Structure 1
């Protein structure tokens, strides 16, 4: 019976697998079991800059030794170990990325070039399972290591491999069909060809199974034709001839399914490239990211799509790294935004520059305006260019490579504003040691600089204030010692007992004058304290400025006469009213007049002038005295400010008067101004106060402070209680000299006992008594029959408002501050009716 003819596919499309191997885009090299090079494709020769005739038949490590200039080179050792593992185990061995430098011929000889490779060593087994050869496949991943763009290049390489295998398989299938059609006429040569084809297909299947990517082939309808073993190893299933939709629905992550099918349908419609990234479920049920790419395989004659050849590359680690990098970049952006930092980048080679919106604003440039390197050089303030540019050049200098750090001013290109900028950066250098870029950050420190300057000015003011305080304390000591000296001398003189009446009176007047001087010093200090703490309460009424000036002149007339000054008054002819505290305004004018008298030479001129301007009243006090230097004019109203004095400080004073003037005037909603043409040119002080509208009732401005009472001709019974025996004795002597009957006690309990037996019309009580203070004594005296209705007068060294409130609450009628003003005390006693 004649044999049924068999189908010989090789008879239709004969294939040259050597040519296919040599045309493969991936670098392949075939080694014998003793590691000699048997075959190599053109891609491998190109990648290693070698020639086929120079390397085939030679030992692997004879052709590719380690770089002798690299003491740490380990490429030969690592590759040899991997090849030995493949030989001993019979399984593919995938190596980690290796640094394996290659020799490059140059005009000067041979040099080694740094390269990084991703090798896979796959053993080829014969029918008995013995390793006959090793397929050494490598990928040059040098650029991946340098630029972290390995994924894109690897995917491109895989696409090339996929097309290669797809074309090879198509030709193989065509060859099989040809062989089947010509089976009847098969010859020994055809049989040998079929065996070669089968061996070639086996080799290519081994090659497809040796690469780490999933390789697949589907027909035009989308049904599976071929999947390499990586597919089953990852998914746990073999070839599944189902539709792409079913494959996607079964293995692709639900969130990626729609995008995958949309890309597939678009590729089928256009017949072009298919590419998508999606997550594929593994046999363990977890998902990993894959880059899926495929190309169509068309019939050469009809152009109809016959197959789709594709690869699926695991890019999960890359995706996770990108996500982590994105998160870090977002954190960095948030940190930069929070710190208001601007990034900048200068390309030294092209002399171009990148500035974001923030940096442009630091140079006064609009956000949408392009910038060039000249904008930086021109924008830096001329005074700051030298050190700024020197620091920048040091950062770009390959020998120095210093950090760029500079603080400089900028001049706004569009707005002309001066800003302060703090910049930091560093240079980036290529393998040749040349600076290619300088990158860094900049921050606007204008506000910080202003704060620093304000802080320095504040510190200067504090130092000046501290210096003036020291000067004031020295002045205070001097001013207090001045009156104490005559008082002490007078006291010693009185103790001699050898003075006649006239000398006693003269000595008494000296003591009185010096006490009044000391009282004035203390009152000024207390006034300043009360004003600065806001404790002064003004009793504002309509006040005639002319009357205020008259009262002030009356107070200072003795000082003016003593120095024989000529006083000129130029006042408005009609009443000029302001809303104010008459007593405090008199104090203001008296201080100005005293100041003029103090600093005007004997026989000099002082002038007081008033004027009305719009809604204000001006009071001007001028003199032709010693004048003031400009620096003193600027701080004339500061505490403790005074002109230079001779060592004897003949004019005296604490430098408080003008400070009080300004504070009291400001409490009246007015202003105080000082002017002087210079030393020896005199001074002018001008007070400006709000004027009351015309027609306001001015009766209060003319009210008299007098009363009906007169000093009693008859004496009063007075109880004096003070633990200071000298002070009590002197006060008693003063009262007795006025005709009063005085009883003195130095202890509060003895005073209470006395009040139970005797009656007193007036009680003068010291507050700072031991055991029982004056406030408590007053309360108890109010319960005694002899003092229940007495006029209680507190005599104390404390004169603050809270002290007055405490004495009033204790039942006192009056509060006198030591040393007692005898005129005020006489006025109080004059109001007490006789017994």
Structure 2
């Protein structure tokens, strides 16, 4: 190209309207438009040929400046991908010349960096196009005409993007003319555009299908939510009232009446279990099941499982047996889900074992290698893999029957929801096809695995492995709270039958019950009543339970009142995050309510002597709490130093049992914090530690701790109780 033509092209570029800058691959400035030089307060001759960030550095007085780093990152993406890169909104401080007073001037730009490629696809130049949106940003910062600014800014950005795209296309075409690109390149461009068009169609179809799937999922969740509420609400009344009647809590019944009430109660429980199977399967598939871990006596649970199927087994003259290798103790599992696994395996075995056969239940503790590799029962079978982690020991449960067995090809169909093996011997046997699918999903939720082995005409063996967890489940701060016994309970429930049931249950625990039908009515009592307990339904007319909980926990008068969420669909995590002490699911059994109140320290007939046990080890807390309760003490529990200080200041216990070794906030800090505050300085403190104290540590405690220092492994229970009696001699009745 002639020199004059090159000069004309440069003049054309420099006079083009808009803020343009051309960079070399090593980020040196090759050219700038007149408007760009004007906007950046620079002179073309002084910037062309220099490095970009030498000319335009960050404002050294602004420690948060990110313009250089963001622009560098965008240019690196262009260099790496050979694709345009859009920077939606960037803050740049433009250096003023000395003639204008020096310093920096704040500007906001929206930029597009586009590559210029030669016929070989090599990046030759980068076109930097900027749109000055400073005025719009300042308008937004001043809070004026927000909607107008947003729309104009979006329009400006969109116009800038479109304009830059058009200009980039024009530059690309000019570059093609200058470099005399061949016909093959044009054909490639055409193919790419056709593919892009086809991709847009495919993306549109996928978007539409995704929207349909999301709508289907939403409708399914809504249906299940409504079904759960509609089915469980009447069952709540049936199970709850029948339990109260059969247990004689509302008056004596004749034996026959009590038996009938027992049948109603058991029938309601069975119907609830069926409903729960279907709803639980849907929840598991939707990833909405949260396990509630608690200590479960393995042998007792296995015996309960055998008792549940005992009557059906007896009717078929089946022999039930169990084989437990050693005393099992307790394991941390979701108790309801654990029983569900057991019942499904045992009931399946009884169902598919012919008259006169046998069913054997085996349980043992195994290591990870055995849990991951063994196949109990028969030589042929299949099993699922064990996920990584979850400890070294596992509880293995196997149920083996002498039933009809299965062919190897049938094993592939197992664990699929609503699927039953097609076998002549299965005809006439009813079932939903959900039991084994639930076993698999619940085992996986626990972090375990399942297996099945079988042989036609000999029987089948189903096995489950669950991690052997110990009692390390974290308790919320609210679980350690204690309120006045035999106080006032406020029941917030719009369903009259559910409210009556809750009132009867609470009254048997010594509470005076006040009932309101709405959250608004409860809040209206704020000036005249401070209840000792609130039970809260979530689905209420007007303000719902979650909104009420937020409001209550933000008020000074009711903020410390324990709130028990009672609903057909309690969200335990949400309830806890909003300050609830406990979440129970309707229908609520009387035993569940008793256990929940006990965990909150709300026991009927509690004594006046209060002891606070502070230790990060839950088992250690319970070891100390048991003898204290036998002495007639109300025991507060705290599982960390900070929580212990808060409870001590609030309840002023008659004795504080304190461990010294706790993470984050140790026992020494607890002592120091309590003694610094005059309101808690006189609380008697007894140290119960698991290690030998150094002379310096003992000296540190002298004068701070008035009671003896006990060792967790020394002295025995009699010594411990004797020391407690001496410490509480001024308040404890012998």
TM-score class, shorter-chain normalisation, is 0.3 to 0.5
Higher RCO (Cα < 8 Å, 6 or more apart): 2
Q: TM-score, normalised by structure 2?
A: 0.38
Quick check: which has more Rg, 1 or 2? 1
Normalising to structure 1: TM-score of the pair? 0.34
